[in-house]
Structure formats: structure tokens, C-alpha cells
Amino acid sequence: MTAILLDVEARGMRHCETTALGVLLRHQGIDLSEPMLFGLGRGLSFVYWDAKNLGFPFLGGRVRPFELTRNLAAALGLELDVRETASPRKAWQNAAGPLAAGLPVGLQLDSFHLDYFTSKVHFGGHVVALYGYDEQRAHLVDTDQQGGAVSTSLESLALARSARGPMTARNRSFTITAPRELPDPETRITAAVTACAEAFLDPPIANLGHRGIDKAARLVPGWIGRSDRPERDLPQAARLMERAGTGGALFRNLYRDFLAECLAHVDSPHLRTGHRLYTEAAALWTRTAELIAQAGESGGPERLAEAGSVLRDLARIEREAMQSLRRLGE
């Protein structure tokens, strides 16, 4: 049995969730830039994540997997149909059914199991768009970095969807239906920007937002002692910051570009300040990743100490940026 949607534009972007959302929304006649999808979905955040089941700490620059999708659907008044199940048979029905009705489907899964992923690292929060299948393979849209229009075996897809572990979901699939009268995205800018700023400035725990960056500034200089193989773990942490589907700089590049696009619609000194500061922050996040990678290559703590200093500057810069952006609604 075969089902292929021929009218799907299989365009990969920089980040997995916005790539999948772009596919689903374009199929509904809505073509927004990736920065606008990310910004209206209130995607920017920060987390310093360290847990017993992690071999090494993780720095994250966005909200939890699928939160961006829920935020974007609420902002634009989209009908979001989400299905989850522990049954492999039902999971496939949930994905194949919308395809038979002419809709591409978003899937959350663990990228480790996908055939085309060359970097075999478990990440249960990966999102792709499914636009077809045949007797052996599923046809997906992933990030541009992963190849855009790609395919994987049906067996590997089932394994990826049912995987358990951090950030995974139970065979989560979703579709989007747009209303006849879509709200003008420009009218949603202020609400999205201020809500994102509020969450960043007032996080519930010290691992998140600007407090999380401050915590990272204190702890990153000690990362040499956290690993028995710093030559492996530190460059890997840097690669995740710069090249793990984010467009680099822990999503600050995307948010910088979102704010620049907003300025074409909303003339505000608060937006201009936020854009200027996030332009500065994006460059400093790339510098932080470079220092962490160099620390692993050299085996010395000096680069990590320098990274900690840059992170202290970043905590201040991003706090000031969000304080300005929070005032956009005034």
C-alpha cells in the first residue's frame, strides 16, 4: 500500500519543529518565515539540564518539545489535533489516516533510530513531517541539515516513535487545520514577545531563563571534572549548541531574525533594543560554544573559565533585552 502527498512542499529549515510546522502550515496556505514561526510560538528559552540519567550536562536554548507547536496554534487560532498511544497499531493508524485524507502529519520521535541520521545520539524531542509512505519506507521532511526531503524504513520509524526516555512522547502525531479567517500574524507579535519575555525573566526554577544562564556561568568552568573523556564530551556539547538543528547560538539567531521581522510591522524602541541586544547575544553564544570545544581539544580549564565569563555577560545582556521587550505592550 502506498500513499504520497504530491502537493507538499518538502522544504527543510534550520530547526526540526519549525520545519515540520512549516510543512503543515504551507499545506493550509499559510507561509510564514522560520523566525516568525519560532517567535510567534514563543520558542526562545534557556535551560541548564543536569540529571542522574545524563552522562554530561546539557544546555538548551528553547522551550520544551512541542510547547512551541501548542503556543503557535493558540496564537493563530489553529485547530491542533494531537494523538498519543502506546499501541504500535494505533500509532500507525493515527499517522496514516490523515495522509489518506490529504493532510501531512507531524511526528515526535527519537532521532537516534532514523536511518538517515549520521549522528547517533538519542534525542526524544525531534519532530518531522510525514507526507507519504510505501511498502518499505516512510517519506519525511526534516531540517535542511538532515537533507530536507528524506526517507527511513517503516521499522525504524516505528522504533523512533515508540522510544522511551527523556523528552519522548508516546507515538505522538498531530495535524493542523487553519480557520477560514486566519488572524493577521502581525496582531499577535506583541502578545508573543511579551509572554516570552515574562517567562524568561520570571522562571519557576533557577535552571531556566536568565537565572539558568547565571547558573551555567558558575558551573561550566568545572565541566572538566565532570567527564572522564573531556576531549569527547566538551566538543559534543559545543556541537549541540551550534549545529543540532538550531541554526546556531542556541536559537538566538532565530530570535534575532524574528525581532528584525517584527520591526517591519511594529515601530518600537523596545523592539529595537531587544533586537540590538540579541544580535550581540547570538555572537557571544557562538563564542561560548567555540571556547567549550577548545577546552576539550586542549584539555585545559582556561577556556572553560573564559566561557563562564562570557556566560555572565550573556545573562546580563539577555536579561536587559527581555526587560525591554516586556515593555512592548505599554
Q: What's the pLDDT tens digit per position in 92-114?
A: 999 999 999 999 999 999 999 99
Percent of the chain scoring above 90 in pLDDT: 81
38 contacts 269 by C-beta, under 8 angstroms: no
State the pLDDT at residue 247: 67
pLDDT attached to residue 245: 60
> d(Cα 199, Cα 202) in Å, to the nearest integer?
5
Q: What is the pLDDT of residues 122-153, one digit of tens each?
A: 889 999 999 999 999 999 999 998 999 999 99
Question: Rounded to two decimals, what is the model's pTM?
Answer: 0.95
DSSP state, 208?
B
Residue 198 vs residues 118, 272, 319, 323: alpha-carbon distances, Å: 38, 18, 11, 8
Mean of the per-residue pLDDT values for the chain? 93
pLDDT number for residue 184 = 81
pLDDT computed for residue 195 by the predictor: 97
Task: List, for residues 10-47, the tens digit of each pLDDT value.
Answer: 888 999 999 999 999 999 999 999 999 999 999 999 99
**How many other CB atoms sit within 10 Å of the CB of residue 181?**
7
Cell numbers that stand for 143 in this block: 531540517
CA distance 320 to 278: 10
pLDDT at 198: 97
**Per-residue confidence (pLDDT) for residue 7, from 0 to 100:** 83
Neighbours of 82 (CB within 10 A): 16
Query: Residue 209 has what pLDDT?
Result: 97
Report helix, strand or coil for 247.
coil
* Domain boundaries 185-327, corresponding CATH code: 1.20.120
Q: Are 289 and 277 in contact, with CB atoms under 8 Å apart?
A: no
Grid coordinates representing 29 are 496556505
SS3 107: strand
Share of the chain above pLDDT 70, in %: 99
Question: How large is the C-alpha radius of gyration of the chain?
Answer: 20
Domain ranges of the chain: 3-31+79-177, 185-327
Number of CB atoms found within 10 A of residue 299's CB = 11
3-31+79-177, which class in CATH? alpha beta
Residue ranges of the chain whose pLDDT lies below 70: 1, 245, 247
- pLDDT at 10 (0 to 100): 86
